[in-house]
Amino acid sequence: MTELIEQPSMLSDERETIEKVAIVVSKGSLEGIYPALIMANGARMEGIEADLFFTFFGLDAIRKDRYEKIKVATVGNPGMHMATWLGAVPGFSALATWMMKRQMEKIDIPPIPEFIELVHDSGVHLYACKATVDMFGLTMNAFVPQVEDIISVGEFYEKAAGGQIIFT
């Protein structure tokens, strides 16, 4: 028998709302980037303020030379439900990416470059992480024009103040 444990309810009848989110994107795979973009866009659609902070391989989502070539991780991804050697077969990641993109287009989820533009135009602020930018030896020139600035982790916390932080 399962028993449902009651969650403590808030004292007042008034439901709390989220006013602001700051989303950290740390992975450069298709399945690492999309959830963050969908959540940022979804926040704006509800009138919630949203910031995106790209760090480590998440920077690929805003790099001019890479953002059109984001792929599904077919190796080391148990969610793919297949043998690791198969995921490593040349061209397999491209095929899985193509299939997933086709499915997403069907439900009106835009490709990454269009999605970056969409969230930016919706009022989402996009930032690159200074530590990673320095580590990879990059400058603002490496990034798409929607990126507002390269900021330190301290500045990120300042901007995120008063909101919720989501790490993907």
Query: For binding to another protein (CB under 8 A), which residues are involved?
Result: 38, 41-42, 44-47, 107-110, 114, 118, 121-123
Q: Which of 44, 63, 35, 37 is nearest to 133 (CA)?
A: 63
Q: d(Cα 100, Cα 111) in Å, to the nearest integer? A: 11
Q: Minimal CA–CA distance to 72: which of 80, 61, 83?
A: 80
Angle at 146 between CA 143 and CA 148, to 5 degrees: 85
- Looking at the Cβ atoms of 122 and 152, the one nearer to another protein is 122
Minimum CB separation of residue 156 from another protein in Å reads: 23
Shortest CB 13 distance to another protein, Å: 13
Nearer to another protein by Cβ, of 47 and 91: the residue is: 47
State the minimum distance, in angstroms, from the CB of residue 44 to another protein. 7
Closer Cβ to another protein, 3 or 108, answer by number? 108
**For residues 11 and 107, which CB has a smaller minimum distance to another protein in the complex?**
107
Helical (H) or strand (E) element with 116? helix 112-121
- CB-CB contact of 61 with 128 (8 Å): no
- Shortest Å distance, C-beta 49 to another protein: 11
CA dist 62 and 68 (Å) reads 9
Is the Cβ of residue 114 or residue 149 nearer to another protein in the bound state? 114
Q: Shortest Cβ distance from residue 145 to another protein (Å)?
A: 14
